[in-house]
């Protein structure tokens, strides 16, 4: 069986010289900043005390933004029907809702088309274009998709439709290989927009603000129109797991404030049914673990239209029905994920460099879930993982990777066996004919064996720094919170605190699934450590044991009382 051991990796400690050069900052905070690649006061202040107006870029810095906005305004003035074509995940759904709302306010004739994940797949397709033409569409604006849909763009143009692509995914390497239309994508060749990591909803937001800036409205109203879109930007950006630094971090930071007081009926109902508490202090993890999965579940289990409708509805009864439906979809998604995960794990054996699991002959795995399963297995066994399900005439698969292994490059080396593929270094999707499966697997194993030959395939837990429990207080935790919102590239800090004695153990939850340890150090400072859904994991830890704990630091507020608290990530018995 594959090794599932976790190594603890405490990042290198900052130097005394670095501390002395920046003596106005807490050394622990300096350590966190240095770990994130920040090296001077100007960079420190950007994350600790960010200035929204200095970090948010002018949307007209996009090479073709002026032309794109002129094209859209021209269609609005002519009374032409505009179709927004969005992806079926949370990023695409929020992008679609955001741009629809903007164009609708500006009196455009606008509709939205979101493809079906299973029957239509990713990107523009001819069936959708024919439908849009039949509904008298004149302009298609894609959001969060389309940058590799060259043939479909050409088909649309032959049908008399104009196309604007807005996307954030990696494109062809040469300009001449891009779709033949206007494009907003920060990572296309020669694009001058300074921030390259926007989510699809971030690009859509830039377009929305650019259009609003050209409207004949008071400046104050223009600002309000842009501001109220930021709740959708926060949801799509966090849910899409893009890097949460620089402009993305600022958009999410402001967006969480807007989300905390949102008037969107659908979002309010979704947060209620997801049991989002303390809504006035909503954080990125609420999106990542409560809101985002329910929006994504629509496209995974049925159709993303229900999630889109929830974003834009003004009908209370409809909002309740839609939110309930998304929650049911999410429960079904969770159950199916566990089922597929169990079946996939039965196929894992040996010390293989890449894990490839295929649906049983008598069962088809849900295409919308295989990526989640790949992520779970990759996380658990620390191996690049592909989960493949059988279709009528082909196989479809999804993959997730580990640091240091470029999965999409490996997939591209196998392109002779594939029908379609796409993705980035850490994730991919693909389809292939049945007769090519074994050749594809063999080629992929050769690539991974070569590239991972000398790599230590043991999962490493990145720890920011080691703390003494005596250093932990409310002031420090509040300082650490200045790094929020947390996300990719700016993960919530994990700390190592050693040599803690267990004074007591409590089990909580309906099934006793949560565990709380009361801990003390040699100076008799006491702190509680919570392990959510970890009772079984730490059942052999007993009273009187001395342990080392990797944890997050929180403030627990209960009955008006505040106290420091640890949230357990991992535990080892002290040496």
CATH of the domain at 160: 3.90.1640.30
Mean pLDDT across the chain, nearest whole number?
Answer: 93
Going by the DSSP 8-state scheme, the letter that residue 148 receives in this structure is: T
Question: 468 and 422 in one domain?
Answer: no
Q: Is the dihedral of CA 378, 381, 386, 387 positive or negative?
A: negative
Asked if the structure places residue 473 within a domain, the reply is yes
How much of the chain, in percent, has pLDDT values that exceed 70?
99
Does residue 149 carry a pLDDT above 50? yes
Question: 190 and 299 in one domain?
Answer: yes
What's the pLDDT score for residue 4?
Answer: 60
Question: 428 and 300 in one domain?
Answer: no
Question: 239 and 196 in one domain?
Answer: yes
Specify the higher pLDDT residue, 559 or 81. 81
Does residue 1 carry a pLDDT above 50? no
Question: 468 and 455 in one domain?
Answer: no
pLDDT 10s digits, 504-524: 999 998 889 999 999 999 999
Q: End of a domain among 294, 328, 362?
A: 328
> Is residue 267 classed exposed, middle or buried when 0-12, 13-18 and 19+ CB atoms within 10 A define those classes?
buried
Asked if the structure places residue 342 within a domain, the reply is no
Rg for the chain, CA atoms, rounded:
25
The secondary structure of 89-108 as a DSSP string is SHHHHHHHHHHHHHHHHTT-
Question: 477 and 397 in one domain?
Answer: no
Does residue 425 carry a pLDDT above 90? no
Q: End of a domain among 459, 486, 507?
A: 459
Q: End of a domain among 295, 328, 361?
A: 328
- The token pair at 40 is 């001077």
- Give the Cα separation of 338 and 328 in Å (integer): 16
Using omega within 30 degrees of 0 as the cis cutoff, is the peptide bond preceding 485 cis? yes
Question: 492 and 442 in one domain?
Answer: no
Asked if the structure places residue 51 within a domain, the reply is no
Strand intervals (E) in 102-204: 109-113, 137-143, 162-166, 182-184
Helix, coil or strand: residue 35: helix
Question: 478 and 450 in one domain?
Answer: no
* Backbone conformation region of residue 67, classed left if phi is above 0, alpha if psi is from -120 to 50, else beta: alpha
Calculate mean pLDDT across residues 358-364: 89
Asked if the structure places residue 41 within a domain, the reply is no
SS (H, E, C) 189-246: CCCCCCCCCCCHHHHHHHHHHHHHHCCCCCHHHHHHHHHCCHHHHHHHHHHCCCECCH
Q: Identify whether the C-beta of residue 244 lies closer than 8 Å to the C-beta of residue 238.
A: yes
Asked if the structure places residue 337 within a domain, the reply is no
- Give the Cα separation of 389 and 560 in Å (integer): 52
Residue 5: count of CB within 10 angstroms of its CB: 7
Contacts of 25 (CB under 8 A, 6+ apart): 33, 44
Return the ∠ at Cα 34 (arms to 33 and 36), rounded to 5°. 70
The total domain count for the chain is 3
Asked if the structure places residue 340 within a domain, the reply is no
pLDDT 10s digits, 66-117: 999 999 999 999 999 999 999 999 999 999 999 999 999 999 999 999 999 8
399: closest CA among 379, 432, 428?
428
pLDDT 10s digits, 317-350: 999 999 999 999 999 999 999 999 999 999 998 7
Q: Is the dihedral of CA 528, 530, 534, 535 positive or negative?
A: positive
Question: 113 and 230 in one domain?
Answer: yes
Asked if the structure places residue 527 within a domain, the reply is yes
How much of the chain, in percent, has pLDDT values that exceed 90?
83
Residue 426: band (very low, low, confident or very high) from pLDDT cuts 50, 70, 90: confident
- Give the Cα separation of 51 and 208 in Å (integer): 22
Q: Identify whether the C-beta of residue 12 lies closer than 8 Å to the C-beta of residue 463.
A: no
What's the pLDDT score for residue 52?
Answer: 86
What's the pLDDT score for residue 3?
Answer: 54
Residue 552 belongs to domain with CATH number: 2.40.50.460
Going by the DSSP 8-state scheme, the letter that residue 290 receives in this structure is: I
Question: 441 and 352 in one domain?
Answer: yes
Indicate the pTM of the whole model: 0.91
Question: 392 and 353 in one domain?
Answer: yes
Question: Which structural domain range is residue 392 located in?
Answer: 347-459
- The token pair at 511 is 């099934």
What's the pLDDT score for residue 392?
Answer: 75
Asked if the structure places residue 256 within a domain, the reply is yes
- Maximal CA-CA distance, the chain: 77
Strand intervals (E) in 11-46: none
Question: 269 and 229 in one domain?
Answer: yes
Strand intervals (E) in 235-333: none
161: closest CA among 106, 113, 231?
113
- The token pair at 224 is 């309000």
Please give the torsion angle defined by the CA atoms of residues 98, 102, 108 and 114, in that order, rounded to the nearest 10 degrees.
Answer: 0
């Amino acid at each position: 069986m594959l090794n599932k051991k976790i190594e603890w990796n405490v990042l290198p400690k900052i130097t005394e010289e670095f501390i002395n050069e920046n003596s106005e900052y807490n050394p622990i905070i300096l350590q966190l900043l240095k770990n994130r690649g920040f090296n001077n006061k100007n960079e420190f202040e950007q994350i600790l005390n960010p200035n929204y107006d200095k970090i948010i870029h002018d949307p007209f810095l996009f090479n073709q933004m002026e032309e794109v906005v002129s094209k859209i305004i021209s269609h609005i003035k002519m009374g032409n029907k505009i179709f927004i074509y969005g992806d079926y995940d949370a990023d695409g759904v929020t992008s679609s809702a955001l741009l629809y709302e903007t164009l609708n306010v500006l009196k455009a004739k606008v509709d939205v088309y979101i493809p079906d994940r299973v029957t239509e797949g990713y990107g523009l397709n001819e069936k959708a274009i024919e439908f849009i033409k039949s509904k008298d569409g004149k302009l298609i604006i894609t959001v969060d998709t389309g940058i590799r849909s060259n043939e479909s763009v050409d088909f649309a143009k032959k049908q008399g439709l104009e196309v604007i692509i807005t996307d954030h995914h990696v494109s062809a390497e040469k300009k001449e290989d891009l779709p033949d239309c206007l494009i907003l994508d920060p990572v296309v060749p020669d694009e001058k927009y300074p921030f390259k990591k926007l989510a699809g909803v971030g690009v859509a937001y830039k377009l929305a603000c650019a259009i609003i800036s050209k409207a004949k409205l008071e400046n104050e109203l223009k600002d309000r129109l842009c501001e109220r879109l930021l709740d959708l930007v926060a949801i799509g950006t966090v849910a899409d797991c893009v890097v949460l630094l620089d402009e993305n971090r600022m958009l999410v930071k402001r967006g969480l404030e807007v989300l905390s007081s949102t008037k969107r009926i659908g979002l309010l109902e979704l947060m209620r049914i997801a049991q989002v508490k303390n809504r006035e202090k909503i954080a990125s993890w609420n999106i990542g673990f409560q809101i985002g999965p329910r929006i994504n579940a629509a496209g995974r289990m049925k159709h993303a239209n229900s999630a889109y409708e929830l974003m834009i509805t003004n009908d209370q009864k409809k909002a309740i029905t839609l939110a309930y439906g998304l929650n049911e979809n999410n429960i079904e998604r969770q159950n199916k994920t566990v089922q597929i995960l169990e079946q996939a794990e039965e196929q894992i054996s040996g010390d293989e460099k890449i894990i490839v699991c295929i649906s049983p002959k008598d069962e088809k795995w849900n295409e919308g879930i295989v990526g989640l399963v790949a992520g779970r297995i990759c996380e658990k066994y620390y191996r690049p993982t592909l989960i493949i399900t059988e279709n009528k005439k082909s196989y479809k698969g999804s993959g997730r990777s580990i640091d240091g292994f470029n999965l999409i490059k490996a997939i591209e080396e196998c392109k002779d066996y594939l029908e379609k593929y796409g993705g980035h270094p850490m994730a991919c999707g693909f389809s292939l004919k049945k007769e090519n499966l074994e050749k594809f697997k063999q080629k992929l194993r050769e690539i991974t064996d070569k590239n991972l030959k000398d790599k230590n395939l043991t999962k490493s837990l990145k720890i920011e720094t080691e703390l003494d429990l005596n250093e932990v207080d409310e002031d420090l935790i509040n300082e650490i919170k200045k790094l929020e919102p947390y996300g990719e590239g700016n993960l919530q800090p994990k700390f190592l605190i050693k040599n803690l004695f267990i004074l007591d153990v409590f089990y909580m939850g309906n099934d006793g699934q949560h565990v709380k340890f009361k801990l003390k150090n040699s100076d008799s400072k006491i702190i509680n450590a919570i392990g959510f859904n970890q009772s079984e994991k730490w059942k052999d830890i007993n009273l009187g044991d001395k342990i080392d704990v990797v944890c997050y630091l929180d403030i627990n507020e209960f009955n008006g009382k505040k106290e420091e608290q640890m949230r357990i990530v991992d535990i080892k018995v002290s040496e």
